[in-house]
Structures are given as C-alpha cells and as structure tokens.
Chains A and B, each alone.
Chain A
Amino acid sequence: MASATARGGSGGVLNLVLFYVFLVIFVLASVLPLIWVFKMSIVTKSELYASPPTIVPNTLSTAEYAQIFSDSAFQKALINSTIIASVTTVICLLLGSIAAYSIARLRFRFKATVMTLILAISFFPAVAIIAPLFIQYSQLGIINTYASVIITDTVFALPLTIWLLVAFFRELPRDLEDAAKVDGATTIQAFRKVIVPLAAPGVFTTAILTFIYAWNEFLFANTFLFDQSTQPVTVVIPNFATIYTVDYGAQAAAAVVVTVPLVILVLIFQRRIVSGLTAGAVKG
C-alpha cells in the first residue's frame, strides 16, 4: 500500500502528482454540480438568465430563499418529510433492533430462512407492488395519509436496519450479557440493559442511514399521497414546475434546502456511514 511513496525517486514524485490530479478531478466532478446549483440559487434573476453565464456570482440575492420559505406549501412539505422520515426511523429501530439481537445473539433453527426472507426485500422491486398496495390502502382508508408511506417505507428500510444492527451487535463482547444472565437477568433484560447502551454508536449510525433512506424516498410518496397536506419535499419539488411555472431560481433554492441537512449529516458522520455501508459488502 505504501509502495507508491516508498519507492521514492522522480518516478515516485510523478506518480504522486498524477495521483493527486486524479483525486482533484474526481472530487470536483462529484461536488461541482452541487456548487453550481447553489450558485444558481443565490444570484439575482437577471444574472441567472445572463448569457454567457457568469462563473463567479456577481450579484447576491436571498430573494429565492425568501420566496420558498414564505410559501406555506413548501413549509408544510418540509414538516411532512420530517414526520415521515422520523417516524419511519423510530419504528425501524424498534422492530429492527429486537430482530437483529435475536439473529446476532440467540440460537434458533430457522435463522438462515428468516435472514433470507428479510434480505430478499432488498432485491425486491418496490414498484411491483404499488398497484395492489394502492388498492389495499384505499380499502383500509389510509391512502393519502402519512401511515400509508410510513408503513411501506418501514418494510423497505428494515432489511438495511436489521443487516447493519446484526453486524454491530456481533461485535459486542458476549461476556457482559452472560454475566448479566448469571446475575439473573432474562434475555429481554440483558438486551435492554446491556446490549442497547453498548450498541448506541452502531444504533446511531443505523438511524442516520434509515433516516436518509426515508427522507429520500419518492416512489411510494408520489403514488400514495395526493395533496399538499401530506406530500413530502421529494414529491413537491419535481412538481414545482407546475406550481411556479418556470421559476428556476426557486427550484434551485428548494433543492439546496432539502439537501443541506443530508450534506451536514454526511460531513459529520462520514467515517461511520462508510463503515456501516460497507459492513455488508465485506463480510457478505
């Protein structure tokens, strides 16, 4: 691994320069589009339409942000997204942590079958069930409510939640639980009082990834929710074109607002997120 630097000499230096040029191109390709959209959101309308376009903003304006934040439909959409993503995360962690504990720590015969059933969902094309679910949710009277999207999001986020938690639970030392059981604790008590507090960092990483999944979900929300009282931002923004006919500045500002919380989460927790995401790939 250290070979590139260890070899030294002019070849080593050239290699290193090329390597950093490659890195710079890669990083720029990833983030430039986002910086550009951010720029579109902070210039005045006349600069937005200027041709040729300006590279560095000449004017600064918060008009687009003022406009979308004063729009009650957009505010409501942000609240809807927050409710849907938070409730989905909490339910996934509750159901997922007890299932993951059982899979990681307890002995039972049909473990492989159970795990296969759960993981099969991550290969499952969600779009294949939107028609039957639409009918069933309509009959149950929960179409166009938060519940319809939260229930479906929960099912499709659960495999990820359980998979990550199983990986985290397996890393915890077993002696502590055994000691708790010797002291007379039941399985449930050992789980609640020993495992849960110890696993907090892993549970937290899982919560972030589940939250991102639910915040970003679009297909179910766009199918099961009809109006502004329940639709999250992911549904409202692409349909902006019809609300603000061709207000590109406002679209750019709205896109920035929705993604800022995600960018902050990613920047703060990048190390944990990467270890969580690759846990499955390496071991599986």
Chain B
Amino acid sequence: MTTASNEKKGRSRIWEEFADPERRTAYYMVLPSLLIIVIVAFFPILYGIVLSLTDSTAAAFGSFVGFENYVEMFQDPAFLEGLSNTVIFTVVSVTLEFILGLTIALAINRAFRGRGLVRAAILVPWAFPTVISAVMWRLMFQDRIGIIQYVASTIGIISEPILADRTLLLIAAILVDVWKTTPFMALLLLAGLQVIPNDVYEAARVDGANVYQRFFQITLPLLKGAILVAVLFRTLDSYRVYDLFYGMAQRELESLSTYVYEGVRISQLQFGPGNAAAVFIFVTSFLLALFFITVLGMRTSAEE
C-alpha cells in the first residue's frame, strides 16, 4: 500500500515537474547534450563489458566465453609490461609534478613584473598536442642529432642510445610529461592559493607562527581541495597515457592504453584481451576516483 502510494506520489511529482513550461524548457535544453553523452560514452562502456565476456573480434560478434579474455590478458607479458609501465609512469610523474607544481605556485603567488610572460610560458607547453611534443622530444633524444643524447654522452652519464633502451625510454617519457604538465599543475594550485585570504597569514604571523607552521597549518589544509582536484585529474590522465608513449617510442613502449589500441587496430588475435584491458582501465579509474572522493574527502558538488 505505502509503496504504491509513494510511487504514485513520486510519479505525480515528476509529472508536475514536466507540466511547468519553464521547467520543461529547461529539460529540453539539456536533453541534446545528455543524449549524445549517454549514446556515445555510457552505452559503449556497457557494450564493451558485454564484448569482453565474448570471443568477438572487431569484425564479428562472438559467443559467450566467461572470463577467458581476462585470464588471457593477465597471462599476456605485453599486458603485464604495460601495467607496470603505466603504474610506474603515473606514480613517479604525478609525484614530481605535484612537488614542482606546488613549489612554483608558492613562489609566484605574489604581484610581480613580468606576470604575463610567466603565464605565457606556463601555457605554451600545455597547449601543445601531447603527441607532437612527444615527437619533438624524440628528436632531441635521437642518437645522431639529439642534443640530450649528445650532452648525456659527453658528460658520460649515458653511453647507449636512449631511444633503444626501454628503461631509459620510460624515464625520458616521465621527464617529458613533467615538462608538459607541471606548469598546468602550478596554475591550478596557484588558483587555489589565491583564494586563501591574506589576513589569515597576517594573524598567524602576529601570533608568532613561523614559515613552516604557516605552510603546514594554514596553506596545506586550506589548499587541500585544490590539491585533490589537481592530483586526481593528473593521476587519471597519466594512468591512460597513450599519445606520449606513441609519439616518443613508436609503439615500443607499452602502456595499458597502447595495449587496448593494439587489440582494436593492430592484431585481431589481441582484440579479446585488449577489450578486457579497456574494461580493466575503466574499473580501476573508477575505483581511483572513488578513493579520492571517499577516503581523501574530495568535494565533488557540481552545484554552487
């Protein structure tokens, strides 16, 4: 009885919502965007999960095989290499970017001459297509004409060709990522710093707090929201690294995303495990975001 009447009440409330012409217009206005997002992003992920449980290929729908693709994926050395490269890449590059980005943000959080120049310098690497900056850096790492290879061999740190060694290639990729995204991290953190009112610092200084106390007890806690947003965005972004590895290493450096790509475009045999890896990336990204939101207490309210 109660559930039935609740249902009726719910339905009539929804009906009222749509009876109001202004509200109806509001829904019509968001509908096109929502529809295209649901059709092109949410539906395919469900379809992808179904596909990962079948022996389908890019050309033909197959029959149900349970978790066979996932078993095959975890037994594939290429996948495991991609997984370890991706995890190392994500942890190291996001950590470096965060430390450097915060240092830069703290340093430039003041009025000074030449702000415009600094802002332009921040934005230029950010605005570059990732795959093109990877190609540019690859040129500088080349063993015959690359300036970095030349300097490294002249000082004697590295004698072998950087691009021929997978470990060096991964380190190089991390450096390029740090170069490209640290400024952006600094920009996000700077925006967070600028909303901390100055009187909080003044009050703390009057109370005799030193620089470190001010940093750890005022800046960091008040900046937590901005830090979590910036770090989560960068973590999810690094975790799906594709353009950078593709441009730097021309498919010699495996990541989770390049593994998926190979299944779709390069090898029909790899389609099953490749698509399983796609679902794996989706689920783990989701868990990562969930961890930031629930455990670290990131605020996600989209409303004011």
Pairing of A with B: yes
Interface residues of A (CB under 8 A from B): 1-4, 19, 22-23, 26-27, 29-31, 33-34, 36-37, 40, 48-49, 51-53, 95-96, 98-99, 101-103, 106-109, 111-112, 114-119, 121-136, 138, 151-152, 154-156, 158, 162, 170, 187-188, 212, 215-216, 218-219, 222-223, 233-234, 237-238, 240-241, 248, 251-252, 255, 258-259, 262-263, 265-267, 270-271, 273-274, 277-278, 281-284
Which of B73-81, B138-146, B164-172 lines the interface with chain A? Answer: B138-146
With A51-B150, A123-B285: A237-B187 Cβ-Cβ less than 8 Å: no
Assess the B23–A270 pair: CB atoms within 8 A.
no
Residues on B with beta carbons closer than 8 Å to the beta carbon of A233: 132
With A187-B25, A216-B128: A27-B117 Cβ-Cβ less than 8 Å: yes
Assess the A34–B230 pair: CB atoms within 8 A.
no
In the complex, given contacts A116-B300, A117-B38, A130-B278, what are 7 additional A-B residue pairs having Cβ atoms less than 8 angstroms apart?
A: A27-B118, A126-B240, A155-B40, A155-B41, A156-B41, A212-B127, A238-B135
Assess the A265–B257 pair: CB atoms within 8 A.
no
Question: Of A136, A154, A237, A255, which is in contact with the most chain B CB atoms at under 10 Å from its CB?
Answer: A255
In the assembled complex, the Cα of A165 lies from the Cα of B261 at a distance in Å of: 33
Residues on A with beta carbons closer than 8 Å to the beta carbon of B109: 1
Assess the A95–B264 pair: CB atoms within 8 A.
no
Q: Is B161 interfacial (CB 8 A cutoff)?
A: no
Residues on A with beta carbons closer than 8 Å to the beta carbon of B7: none
Assess the B112–A108 pair: CB atoms within 8 A.
no
In the assembled complex, the Cα of A258 lies from the Cα of B127 at a distance in Å of: 11
Assess the B250–A155 pair: CB atoms within 8 A.
no
Q: Is B65 interfacial (CB 8 A cutoff)?
A: no
Chain A residue nearest to B32 (CB atoms) is A95
In the assembled complex, the Cα of A237 lies from the Cα of B44 at a distance in Å of: 29
Residues on B with beta carbons closer than 8 Å to the beta carbon of A40: 139, 145
Contact among A107, A136, A273, A282 for B123, CB-based, below 8 A = A273
Q: Is B188 interfacial (CB 8 A cutoff)?
A: yes
Which 10 residue pairs of A and B lie closest in terms of their CB atoms, listed nearest first?
A278-B191, A102-B29, A115-B302, A216-B129, A106-B26, A128-B282, A129-B44, A132-B44, A99-B33, A27-B121
Assess the B195–A282 pair: CB atoms within 8 A.
yes
In the assembled complex, the Cα of A127 lies from the Cα of B45 at a distance in Å of: 10
Assess the A219–B257 pair: CB atoms within 8 A.
yes
In the assembled complex, the Cα of A56 lies from the Cα of B136 at a distance in Å of: 18
* Contact residues of A: prevailing secondary structure: helix
A21 CB to closest chain B CB (Å) equals: 11
Cross-chain pairs A/B with CB under 8 angstroms, 26 sampled = A23-B107, A23-B108, A34-B136, A48-B145, A95-B32, A102-B26, A106-B26, A112-B303, A115-B303, A130-B261, A131-B260, A132-B45, A138-B59, A151-B40, A154-B40, A188-B25, A219-B242, A219-B257, A222-B246, A237-B132, A251-B135, A258-B132, A259-B132, A263-B124, A270-B119, A281-B191
Interface residues of B (CB under 8 A from A): 17, 22-23, 25-27, 29-30, 32-34, 36-38, 40-41, 44-45, 47-48, 51, 56, 58-59, 104, 107-112, 114, 116-125, 127-132, 134-137, 139-140, 142, 144-145, 147, 150, 154, 179, 183-184, 187-188, 190-192, 194-195, 198, 226, 229-230, 232-233, 236, 239-240, 242-243, 246-247, 250, 256-257, 260-261, 263-265, 271, 274-275, 278-279, 281-282, 285, 289, 299-304
Assess the A219–B243 pair: CB atoms within 8 A.
yes
Residues on B with beta carbons closer than 8 Å to the beta carbon of A101: 29
* Contact residues of B: prevailing secondary structure: helix
In the assembled complex, the Cα of A114 lies from the Cα of B195 at a distance in Å of: 28
Chain B residue nearest to A242 (CB atoms) is B250
Chain B residue nearest to A238 (CB atoms) is B247
Residues on B with beta carbons closer than 8 Å to the beta carbon of A108: 17, 23, 26-27
Residues on A with beta carbons closer than 8 Å to the beta carbon of B183: 30
Chain B residue nearest to A101 (CB atoms) is B29
In the assembled complex, the Cα of A1 lies from the Cα of B121 at a distance in Å of: 22
With A52-B150, A131-B275: A274-B123 Cβ-Cβ less than 8 Å: yes
Contact among B111, B124, B264 for A2, CB-based, below 8 A = B111
In the assembled complex, the Cα of A96 lies from the Cα of B32 at a distance in Å of: 9
Chain B residue nearest to A135 (CB atoms) is B58
Assess the A266–B145 pair: CB atoms within 8 A.
no
